[in-house]
Structure 1
Amino acid sequence: MNQAVTRGGFFSKERITAGPGFNRWMVPPAALAIHLCIGQAYAFSVFNKPMTQLLGISESAPDDWTIPQLGWIFSIAIVFLGLSAAFAGKWLEEVGPRKAMFTAACCFGGGFMVAALGLQLHQLWMVYFGYGVLGGIGLGVGYVSPVSTLIKWFPDRRGMATGMAIMGFGGGAMIASPLSLKLMNAFKSETSMGVTETFLVLGIVYFIYMCIGALAVRIPPADWKPEGWTPPVQQNAMISRNHVHIDRAIKTPQFWLLWWALCLNVTAGIGVLGQASLMIQESFQGMITAAAAAGFVGLLSLANMSGRFLWSTVSDYIGRKVTYGTFFVLGTILYLLVPGMGTAGHVTLFVLFYLVILSMYGGGFSTVPAYLADLFGTRYVGGIHGRLLTAWSAAGIFGPVLVNYIRDYQLQMGIPRSDVYIYTMYVMAGLLVIGFICNMMIRPVSAEHHMSAENIAAEPIAAGAK
């Protein structure tokens, strides 16, 4: 072990393989350091209105950017999140989480810098490239880096482990939303909305904290298991003790059914997150201030974060399939009820319903890695998870586009701003019904796709895989 550490480079897996007596509970904070930073993406809606007034300052000027134009920043970031996760998943298993986390820090922090330059020059394509492309790559690589590591550290509680890793992504907006508002207010002047300076500060801060997470992460030795724990003999039929190769997994119907289930669940929630601040202000005109709307974004972030830990932990007891079924049934009911709350002016119920919806949205993300580990085994779960996240890329386009363009179309038709989201919510409910059907069709993976003992021995993978 000591010789391996000496030979290995600073970012090598040998350097970060834990020694005897290492406390596995030291790993979740490293994961949270990454996910709390990249979770800022969910607070991006607080920049939308100020970014439509970069030139006009007090109000939008003719050459200022529009909400549909700005909506693509978030969508591009989510597209590249999924694409980079798909490509980085297999690379992550080869190089280990430290190198992947540091790469994510460079891309995410650097993306803010490039976007800040685009804001200063008022070049939207630079913002698309900076925050959307570079930042999106940082999101994807940073997102998958800690997940497979924690699954290997917590084979006895897969759902809880992925909840710990991913809840930070949902909670990042709870910090980023008020922080971004305070920074913009501090930097705002007669000639600036303060957005450019805020992007610079956030880029530096996030880079530093993500590097701290990269330094702290560790991976378990090969064949490690918790002291006193043995895999249960009697297993749920949906939990496999076999492994499916990453390239084989994407050829199974289970992968694509789960892909669509995740995509539809995310589409229904991500459109709301992308325009949460503007949506509640328009749904309750005159009742909700910009500060209160930022508070709403923060509450959604809290629900998103807590739901990731709560639902994934619950899935350890009731199963992943039942958990996902709950998301779709309850989500459909709530989306059908939300428009009535907005029309009647019931702010409290409106907020409460969305808090439940966003808890299940977050729960879908945190439960899916354990769902994949149950179906395909833990050996390649990081890479398979990365490829499944292309569903997030697709949803990153579908959700915001549905919300933004249906909103604009209805405004052009003369529909009051307070009613422009009603039809969209009904569309989201329909998508969840389709997702429910996809989830119900998922069955255990056929034995023909399982790796043999010879195949497993011939293809050694990341430390800690079993």
Structure 2
Amino acid sequence: MTTVSSAARVSAAGAGFLDKEHTIATAGFNRWLVPPAALCIHLCIGMAYGFSVFWLPLSRAIGLTAPKACPDISLVQELFTTTCDWRVASLGWMYTLFFVLLGVSAAIWGGWLEKVGPRKAGFVAALCWAGGLVIGALGVYTHQLWLMWLGSGVIGGVGLGLGYISPVSTLVKWFPDRRGMATGMAIMGFGGGAMIGAPLADRLMNYFKTPTSVGVWETFLVMGAIYFVFMMIGAFRYRLPPSGWQPDGWTPPSKTNAMISTKNVHLDNAHKTPQFWLIWWVLCLNVSAGIGVIGMASPMLQEIFAGKLIGLPNVGFNALDASQKAQIAAIAAGFAGLLSLFNIGGRFFWASLSDKIGRKNTYYTFFVLGIVLYALAPTFAAMGSKLLFVLGFGIILSMYGGGFATVPAYLADMFGTQFVGAIHGRLLTAWSTAGIIGPVVVNYLREFQLAAGVPRDQLYNTTMYILCGMLIAGFICNYLIKPVDPKWHMSDAEVAKLQAATATGGNGATGSFGIGKGGLDGRAALFWLFVGIPLAWGIYMTLLSAVKIL
């Protein structure tokens, strides 16, 4: 223990505060301080899921009370126009940029993260995400769609990618005794960001709204400042365990079935196996079916149920006046937040359950149950049952989030733990692809149906059946996943040599190094309270809105 601690101190002495060497934990550190640090970042960048709350206000940024539409304007012209309001489908492209850039940046800079550590990655993520919102605010203020895409979409998307992957491998290293729980904790905050951000954004827009402004650019600035502070706190609180660290009394599990490998596959070979691409498609199709719905959650609820949301069952969306539309917009913001509640809960629940029933069976559950619920969604809408509609999509979104939380463990089962972080980063290109497929299917099919004169409460029926088809394809891909061919496995000598060359602050020894299993001591309790208060507020606001929906 003394040797490891001394080596860590010597290494850190020559490193900058943001460098990896400065983040190595020493004796007495409590590992339960790391999850709230991850939540500080993920609860902020998770607002990407709640951006649909901005679409309708932005679609009337010039007209104010109603969109100032220019039916013949092209997408290229929309990027620069200052006289026509933006179409909702065009705004949805920024949502696509979020997740395309998230996957691309995670794949490109995943290796850089492993070299520099989570603190520097979290720092850069905060600059990109908060800075992107500021640039996006300028785009809204000047009514330049390209500038909003560049700021919130591109720069913010890079922040999403770096912020998303920064805590995943860190928490897996801190909780080897609870792998499923760790992957759930690592990214459950990302699913809960909109639960806080969507109702907060709605309140801020109403506060800043004037006769000449819908209040969006002001909201971007305020939320950017809040997110910057929280993300910096999270980044500075990251710590890494010493090389070889293990919790007291924990013994690495032995191989229990053919679908869990005790061997490792090298990063350079993982993508050469059929298992990588089958899991890639499993993730892509599961995400595609959910991500488009998330991006249109707020408009979808408003258009399908319209006056039913405020006790006017026979009043369609177009017949509502401005004040009534404002009322249902607030309720729909709660729907986006409620989906986040299911999203965040599903990440922890399904990932933990996968430890018991296996990753493959967990994904089978996602696909079978998802197919049934998407097929029934038009029926729920036709019945006018808000309860069944909301509950159905809540379960769907829990499985959407569960897919993200389960896939790192799926990869570890297939390829071992040595390169799982980097392999996971590359697999997130499936998310990027889904970020294009899902919103394009939902957004542009909506525009096509609208132009064809389909009633607003039936705009999404065909879309639901298409999403069923995606899940059927995902089920087939999951069925085809088998154990990796042994020819791709690294030898024990290769793994030992690699670990010796990349160890930080250690000499190959294993043990607790004075860092036990930890617990909820005073410092940990305060830090959990720090992230728990806004989370509790988000849950409270979400439940209040849920009551209005039902």
Classify the TM-score, shorter chain.
over 0.9
User: Which position in structure 2 is the counterpart of 1:335?
Assistant: 374
* Equivalent position amino acid for 1:195 in 2: V
Q: Deviations over 1:43-72 (max 9, x none)?
A: 000000000111111111130101111010
User: Which position in structure 2 is the counterpart of 1:310?
Assistant: 349
Q: Percent identity?
A: 60
* Partner Cα distance (2:150, 2:275) in 1: 34
Q: Does 1:36 align with 2:49?
A: no
* Partner Cα distance (2:476, 2:179) in 1: 25
The Cα shift of 1:458 comes to 4.0
The Cα shift of 1:461 comes to 3.6
Q: Deviations over 1:274-323 (max 9, x none)?
A: 00000011111211311111111111010000000000011111111111
User: Which position in structure 2 is the counterpart of 1:206?
Assistant: 227
2:191 to 163, 170, 195: 170
Mapped contact 1:54–1:193 kept (Cα < 8 A): yes
The Cα shift of 1:233 comes to 2.7
**How do 1:449-464 residues align onto structure 2 when only pairs under 5 Å count?**
449-459=488-498, 460-461=501-502, 463=504
User: Which position in structure 2 is the counterpart of 1:58?
Assistant: 65
The Cα shift of 1:379 comes to 1.6
Q: Deviations over 1:243-296 (max 9, x none)?
A: 222121111111100000000000000011000000011111211311111111
Q: Does 1:99 align with 2:120?
A: yes
Mapped contact 2:305–2:457 kept (Cα < 8 A): yes
| Structure 2 residues without counterparts, runs of 5 or longer | 1-7, 70-83, 310-327, 511-550
2:260 to 233, 239, 253: 239
* Partner Cα distance (1:260, 1:233) in 2: 29
User: Which position in structure 2 is the counterpart of 1:159?
Assistant: 180
User: Which position in structure 1 is the counterpart of 2:434?
Assistant: 395
* Partner Cα distance (1:152, 1:448) in 2: 27
1:186 to 198, 207, 211: 207
Mapped contact 2:60–2:68 kept (Cα < 8 A): yes
* Partner Cα distance (1:9, 1:98) in 2: 11
2:271 to 250, 262, 269: 250
User: Which position in structure 2 is the counterpart of 1:142?
Assistant: 163
Matched pairs, number:
466
Q: Does 1:21 align with 2:28?
A: yes
TM-score, normalising length: structure 1: 0.98
TM-score, normalising length: structure 2: 0.83
Q: Does 1:287 align with 2:308?
A: yes
* Partner Cα distance (2:258, 2:169) in 1: 22
User: Which position in structure 1 is the counterpart of 2:10?
Assistant: 3
User: Which position in structure 1 is the counterpart of 2:453?
Assistant: 414
Q: Does 1:298 align with 2:305?
A: no
The Cα shift of 1:236 comes to 2.5
Q: Deviations over 1:409-452 (max 9, x none)?
A: 11122211101100100010110011011111111112221222
User: Which position in structure 1 is the counterpart of 2:53?
Assistant: 46
* Partner Cα distance (1:147, 1:236) in 2: 25
* Partner Cα distance (2:151, 2:502) in 1: 33
Moved more, 175-184 or 377-386: 377-386
* Partner Cα distance (2:302, 2:256) in 1: 49
Moved more, 290-299 or 166-175: 290-299
* Partner Cα distance (1:425, 1:28) in 2: 36
Mapped contact 1:238–1:374 kept (Cα < 8 A): yes
The Cα shift of 1:455 comes to 2.7
**How do 1:79-94 residues align onto structure 2 when only pairs under 5 Å count?**
79-94=100-115
The Cα shift of 1:462 comes to 6.4
Q: Does 1:382 align with 2:389?
A: no
Q: Deviations over 1:146-182 (max 9, x none)?
A: 0011111111221110100111000000000000011
* Equivalent position amino acid for 1:403 in 2: V
* Partner Cα distance (1:272, 1:369) in 2: 24
1:373 to 389, 412, 430: 412
* Equivalent position amino acid for 2:103 in 1: G
User: Which position in structure 1 is the counterpart of 2:292?
Assistant: 271
* Equivalent position amino acid for 1:300 in 2: L
- Aligned partner of residue 391 in structure 1, secondary structure: helix
User: Which position in structure 1 is the counterpart of 2:323?
Assistant: none
The Cα shift of 1:456 comes to 2.6
* Partner Cα distance (2:191, 2:170) in 1: 19
Moved more, 71-80 or 410-419: 410-419
* Partner Cα distance (2:449, 2:502) in 1: 53
- Aligned partner of residue 442 in structure 1, secondary structure: coil
The Cα shift of 1:234 comes to 4.1
Mapped contact 2:255–2:262 kept (Cα < 8 A): no
* Partner Cα distance (1:461, 1:398) in 2: 38
Q: Does 1:442 align with 2:481?
A: yes
Q: Deviations over 1:339-371 (max 9, x none)?
A: 100011011000000110000000000111111
The Cα shift of 1:235 comes to 2.1
- Aligned partner of residue 286 in structure 1, secondary structure: helix
Mapped contact 1:94–1:461 kept (Cα < 8 A): no
User: Which position in structure 2 is the counterpart of 1:364?
Assistant: 403
The Cα shift of 1:21 comes to 3.2
The Cα shift of 1:90 comes to 1.2
* Partner Cα distance (1:279, 1:252) in 2: 40
* Partner Cα distance (1:189, 1:177) in 2: 20
* Partner Cα distance (1:462, 1:290) in 2: 53
2:217 to 178, 196, 205: 196
* Partner Cα distance (2:281, 2:450) in 1: 31
The Cα shift of 1:337 comes to 0.7
* Equivalent position amino acid for 2:360 in 1: K
User: Which position in structure 2 is the counterpart of 1:124?
Assistant: 145
* Partner Cα distance (2:176, 2:307) in 1: 51
Moved more, 360-369 or 202-211: 202-211
Mapped contact 1:92–1:383 kept (Cα < 8 A): no
* Partner Cα distance (1:212, 1:260) in 2: 36
User: Which position in structure 1 is the counterpart of 2:547?
Assistant: none
* Equivalent position amino acid for 1:18 in 2: A
- Aligned partner of residue 278 in structure 1, secondary structure: helix
User: Which position in structure 2 is the counterpart of 1:113?
Assistant: 134
Mapped contact 2:255–2:261 kept (Cα < 8 A): no
The 1:462/1:397 distance shift into structure 2, 3 A limit, reads farther
* Partner Cα distance (2:436, 2:257) in 1: 36
Higher radius of gyration, 1 or 2: 2
